[in-house]
């Protein structure tokens, strides 16, 4: 039996908890703020139901084999409140968050050798606590190695694409390229259809080009064509599609500004790479965040 504790049962966390609970060899515990009776996931192949054990008090946690953090990046310190009781000397920590600083956010709490950074593409929407719709296939990538292979093994037999890669840094920076462009929709309070506006599309491409330049300086292998591909992807999808940062702004929640665009500015400064368009997005969204 593998003990798994999941922290952050939002759209992505609830989706993963529902799938992991389908394996009878897993004992799944979910750390929650608001209790719910069960998880019901409307997945592409049908309805999945799960009744994981719920914890509302960090003092009640016990060491697990795996702790999966699926909170927003800015909630990392809050997630770490569960570590004192929930992380033992053999516990491995999977960080399922946006950005490129998965290990850095938690290295002061858990030995870096036991942290598995996770890149996820999971189109999911949470309607209420424990009620989630998975809108399409889930793709998950982790660094190749012993810990990565063990993480992949947690999902064996489940209908999710979970794999290792020897070049994880490229995978997460490529995902950041996509996420960084979403700042424009968030700033304009407009869904993906805004990318059909020529000047907006140019701005998105410039934001991604800055991300590409900084990512290359950090060791990622990123082609120039990514900027155009991302805009094309937005234009080919539903016009009303909203990225998670736009959804957060609409709901009056904090936004992952630093994890998505601020990190590009910070690392750009470190490497002497200008990032004016990302800096503009950061300034605008931080002003909105502070005034809301």
SS3 at position 129: coil
Which phi and psi angles does 121 have, rounded to 5°?
A: -120, 100
175 catalytic per annotation? yes
For residues 7 and 9, what is the distance between their CA atoms, to the nearest angstrom? Answer: 6
Torsion of CA 20, 53, 253, 210, to 10 degrees: -30
Q: How many CA atoms lie within 13 A of 155 on its CB side?
A: 21
* DSSP code string of 186-219: HHHT--GGGGGSHHHHHHHHHHHHHHHHHHHHTT
Q: Are 71 and 80 in contact (CB under 8 A)?
A: no
Q: For the chain, how long is the longest CA-to-CA vector?
A: 55
Neighbouring residues of 214: CB distance < 8 A, sequence distance ≥ 6? 264, 267, 268, 271, 273, 275
Which member of 72, 85, 174, 175 is catalytic? 175
For residues 174 and 263, what is the distance between their CA atoms, to the nearest angstrom? Answer: 14
Paired residues of 46 in beta bridges: 43
Backbone φ/ψ region at 147: left (φ over 0), alpha (ψ -120 to 50), beta: alpha
> Which positions are catalytic?
175
């Amino acid at each position: 039996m593998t003990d798994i504790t999941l922290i952050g049962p939002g759209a992505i966390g609830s989706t993963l908890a529902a799938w992991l609970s389908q394996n009878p060899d897993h004992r799944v515990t979910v750390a929650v703020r608001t209790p719910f009776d069960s998880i019901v996931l409307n997945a592409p192949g049908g309805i999945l139901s799960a009744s994981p054990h719920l914890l509302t008090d960090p003092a009640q946690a016990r060491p697990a084999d795996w702790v999966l953090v699926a909170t927003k990046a800015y909630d990392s310190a809050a997630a770490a409140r569960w570590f004192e009781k929930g992380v033992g000397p053999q516990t491995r920590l999977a960080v399922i968050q946006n950005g490129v600083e998965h290990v850095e956010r938690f290295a002061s709490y858990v030995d870096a050798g036991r942290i598995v950074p996770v890149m996820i593409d999971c189109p999911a929407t949470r309607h209420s606590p424990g009620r989630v719709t998975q809108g399409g296939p889930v793709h998950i990538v982790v660094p190749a190695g012993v810990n990565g292979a063990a993480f992949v093994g947690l999902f064996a037999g489940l209908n999710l694409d979970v794999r290792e890669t020897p070049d994880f840094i490229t995978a997460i920076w490529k995902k950041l390229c996509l996420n960084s462009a979403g700042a424009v929709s968030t700033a304009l309070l407009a869904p993906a259809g805004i990318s059909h506006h020529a000047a907006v599309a140019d701005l998105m491409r410039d934001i991604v080009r800055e991300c590409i330049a900084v990512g290359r300086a950090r060791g990622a292998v990123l082609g120039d064509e990514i900027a155009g591909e991302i805009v094309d992807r937005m234009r080919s999808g539903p016009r009303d599609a909203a990225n998670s940062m736009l959804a957060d702004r609409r709901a009056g929640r904090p936004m992952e500004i630093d994890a998505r665009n601020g990190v590009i500015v910070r690392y750009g400064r470190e490497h002497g790479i200008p990032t004016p368009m990302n800096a503009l997005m950061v300034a605008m969204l931080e002003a909105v965040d502070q005034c809301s």
